Structure 1
Amino acid sequence: MTTMAMNVAMTGQAAPEPLATIVIVNWNGAHLLPPCLDAVAKQDAPFTFETHVVDNASADDSREVLAQRYPWAKLVPSDRNLGFAGGNNLALRGVTTPYAVLLNNDAIPEPDWLARLLAPFAEPGGNRLGAVTGKVVFLPRFLRLTLSTHTFSPGPHDPRELGVRVSSVTVNGREALREVLWEKLTFGAEGPADAPFFWTRGEGELCVPVPEGGPATIGLTWAADTAKQVTLGWAGAGDTTATRTLPVGTEPSTVSFTVDEGAPRVDVINNVGGIVLTDGYGADRGYQQIDTGQFDNPEEVFTACGNGMAMRTELGQALGWFDDDFFLYYEDTDLSWRIRARGYQIRYVPGAVLRHVHSASSVEWSPLFVFHTDRNRLLMLTKDATVRTAVSAVTRYPLTTASIAVRTWRQALRSRSRPAVRPTVLRVRVFASYLRLLPAMLRRRREVGATATERRVSLQSWLVER
């Protein structure tokens, strides 16, 4: 309940019309809803708002949690999982407030988040704003670790220079591998979704989530091509620097070390607005950068993040909100592109802060993640980009798939092993699904073009070189 709503209730005055509706999509998130909704209840805003929770046919006790602990949140039930796009649309199509606000069930807003997010619409020039997006940081705070070791090359068909293979990271005995931020050190997750591992480069930085108070004991399970040493370093209390040189062998082994309570913990950025690269890939602006205030100024951005964006309801209705066929991922980038095609701006507001559990609902680089990000990128470009950009991306995809298949079979023949066909099969499924939806996307492309006030070639001036 907002501060205004509490004051109205105490004085017996008639409640003013709500300014915004917060929409939260939930799927099997009974453990995520309490911290999210508790933070929504603590929003300190000079206006009233509604909260709608879409439950995407959860199999856990999400609906019981809502009924018992959060009766003020309106439940919007679905009898099947509609994904992020369809789930949001189920509620958004019934919103009657001037603004609609999207919030992930695994995000925790700061108390002034909503007020700061909506403020730009009432400021000079706010009539040209179609959407506003805030700052999203990862939920925990992190210890910055540097790693350095000798590298090796795995062979002629893998040009990478590899350091060590990490299969587990624990913090005070709790597994934290999926919460570690690896962007500046590794080549991404490898192996099966239920047992991922990471190959490091020779040197770089990783961020490990650690508690605020007290020392933290960090454990690493790793292996390498040969026995060698790995040097880890981190900032200590004051201006000190701590280092540990630890052994790694050819078989997985676990080493541990303790970080004192004075070691600084930092916030790491998840999203401060979005960008689209010239090859059509979307990206989080500022992703995995240490938050040192480099994004503390409001500015116009190309896309808004679906976690923590506010939008004019009237505009959303005119655009048809999200594209239901996207299901999951790139739906916010597609919607932002269409907002801009109508001549509206999108503004980033640094004071509207969310803390986010990254990939709590779908594991990054899982088959689910890869399928929808690959397919939806092609769908988005088909709808929104210039013909040249769209055709280039779409034709490149099957050619790359064929190249991967040939390379996989050649490697299997040389090593006399079974080929890893799953990645190729997944890409074939992606393209088959894209082709199935192509007629609908071409029809929607014509609809976007018929109502656009900005030319596609002009909008693509926002695209960023890789």
Structure 2
Amino acid sequence: MTSRTGLEAAGSEPLATVVIVNWNGAHLLPPCLDALAKQDAPFPFETQVVDNASADGSRELLARRYPWVTVVPSDRNLGFAGGNNLALRGVTTPFAVLLNNDAIPEPDWLARLLAPFGAAGGNRLGAVTGKVVFLPRFLRLTFSAPTFSPGPHDPRELGVRISSVTVDGREVLREVLWEKLTFGAEGPPKAPFFWTRGEGELCVPVPEGGPVTIGITWAADTAKQVTLGWEPDPEPGTEAGAGAAGPSRTLPVGAEPSTVTFTVDAGAPRVDVINNVGGIVLTDGYGADRGYQQIDTGQFDNAEEVFTACGNGMAMRTELGHDLGWFDDDFFLYYEDTDLSWRIRSRGYQIRYVPDAVLRHVHSASSVEWSPLFVFHTDRNRLLMLTKDATARTALRAVAQYPLTTASIAVRTVRQAWRARSRPAVRPTVLRVRVFSSYLRLLPAMLRRRREIGAAATERRVSLQSWLVER
């Protein structure tokens, strides 16, 4: 009998194994596993949770509430790459599916994710990736403020410095989506702040119903006025975002930090925001989420081929995964899915994005974006990936550029500190030195793997790099 996925289910044998890596995620597992238990899949599947030496009672929770889950214990934290591999290397079902512990799948997610393998042309698919949206829904705010230039050594035009955002009294600074407004997180990991541009938009996570009170703590170079706006309540019979001018607030900001509050009416539209709809790699070797922080208006509602699959919500042929050796254990965290996707493509397989396999994801729930942990692994693993997978010219250019940029940052930091008669901020430079030292230590192993990838490849590296996009 053929299921809705177009795949043959051999009696009661599981068709897929869903692998979830967990590290101190006892608070994240119940929503994830409860949603997985409610999957409307016309085939049986297994679920395995790799516990990376959690110390928060995760294993006790799994034993008590989820006896149907197979727990794969690790006595140390192997990261996302090694943790997944601990389970993947023992998978025997035709397909392996990866799911983050901070993601909640829609009821038909698994069936729709596997469907392309059984459809026309599915024999050439190595992996399938779905649509990942951020877990909450958001209020979309527009922002406008006068700017200033901080000085000759900082070319940015800055608006205001934001150090706190609350929704009905709850701190949500780390959950706000800032991509279209700020220059990224600055300051220490435990007390980050964001400098805005003069104009842009931000998305604030809000409850689904009722009015909400938003509080913002900010400061600027001098007293000024900031205008915040949002879409109006939709008129009966119309859709949100139909183009009508919405309400706005003009609020004061001064040189000293202060907090302003305003209330948004219950009918203000909530929107879904995209986290990932497949991945891209830029020509300088940086990986990126396709569609990242775009409002989901249906612009990615067509299935299509993509260059890379997201490790959260990725389905793969088990036989191919075993042949490739799954993830690279040395990556630990970040870029491991981009590296694996590149290797899938080197064997001549395609990667398909399907928009109707939907996950809701708590972004950076396990590691704080732009923390030292994040920066170390993204910087190092980008160089490792290029060394393994890219053309020699691309890899050499990126590897040579890294120490040159590090030296430039160090010189600029010392000059700025000398002019300001202050102690130089050495931590960013030290972190980059650690990155490159770790890369050099792993270089012999990466070169060996590069030769192995090249020997087994059916697609040339230069051909695969036609997928790379300009920044």
TM class, shorter-chain normalised?
over 0.9
Which runs of no fewer than 5 residues in structure 1 stay unpaired? 5-13
Q: How is 1:149-228 mapped onto 2 (pairs within 5 angstroms)? A: 149-228=145-224
**1:401 alignment partner in structure 2:** 406
**1:360 alignment partner in structure 2:** 365
The alignment status of 1:140 with 2:136, answered yes or no, reads yes
Please state whether the residue corresponding to 2:247 is helix, strand or coil: strand
**2:258 alignment partner in structure 1:** 253
CA distance in 1, matches of 2:266, 2:304: 37
Please state whether the residue corresponding to 1:241 is helix, strand or coil: coil
CA distance in 2, matches of 1:423, 1:240: 44
Q: CA deviation at 1:450?
A: 0.3
**2:334 alignment partner in structure 1:** 329
The alignment status of 1:117 with 2:113, answered yes or no, reads yes
CA distance in 2, matches of 1:100, 1:136: 18
The alignment status of 1:60 with 2:56, answered yes or no, reads yes
1:365-420 deviations in whole A, cap 9, x for unaligned?
00000000000000000000000000000000000000000000000000000000
The alignment status of 1:412 with 2:408, answered yes or no, reads no
Match of residue 15, structure 2, among 19, 23, 36:
19
1:14-55 deviations in whole A, cap 9, x for unaligned?
961000000000000000000000000000011000000000
The alignment status of 1:382 with 2:378, answered yes or no, reads no
Equivalent AA in structure 2 for residue 68 of structure 1: R
Q: CA deviation at 1:130?
A: 0.1
Please state whether the residue corresponding to 2:99 is helix, strand or coil: strand
Equivalent AA in structure 1 for residue 76 of structure 2: R
**1:7 alignment partner in structure 2:** none
**1:233 alignment partner in structure 2:** 229
CA distance in 1, matches of 2:467, 2:307: 7
1:128-168 deviations in whole A, cap 9, x for unaligned?
00000000000000000011010000000000000000000
Please state whether the residue corresponding to 2:409 is helix, strand or coil: helix
The alignment status of 1:244 with 2:249, answered yes or no, reads yes
CA distance in 2, matches of 1:48, 1:324: 29
Please state whether the residue corresponding to 1:133 is helix, strand or coil: strand
CA distance in 1, matches of 2:231, 2:428: 40
1:205-228 deviations in whole A, cap 9, x for unaligned?
000000011001000000000011
CA RMSD of aligned residues (A): 1.1
Q: How is 1:72-83 mapped onto 2 (pairs within 5 angstroms)? A: 72-83=68-79
Match of residue 296, structure 2, among 291, 297, 306:
291
**1:435 alignment partner in structure 2:** 440
Equivalent AA in structure 1 for residue 454 of structure 2: G
CA distance in 2, matches of 1:68, 1:250: 54
CA distance in 2, matches of 1:242, 1:416: 47
CA distance in 2, matches of 1:374, 1:237: 44
State the TM-score, normalized to the length of structure 1.
0.97
State the TM-score, normalized to the length of structure 2.
0.96
CA distance in 2, matches of 1:53, 1:116: 22
**1:10 alignment partner in structure 2:** none
Please state whether the residue corresponding to 2:96 is helix, strand or coil: strand
Q: CA deviation at 1:347?
A: 0.1
CA distance in 1, matches of 2:425, 2:256: 23
**1:9 alignment partner in structure 2:** none
Q: CA deviation at 1:329?
A: 0.1
Match of residue 281, structure 2, among 267, 273, 276:
276
Q: CA deviation at 1:236?
A: 1.8
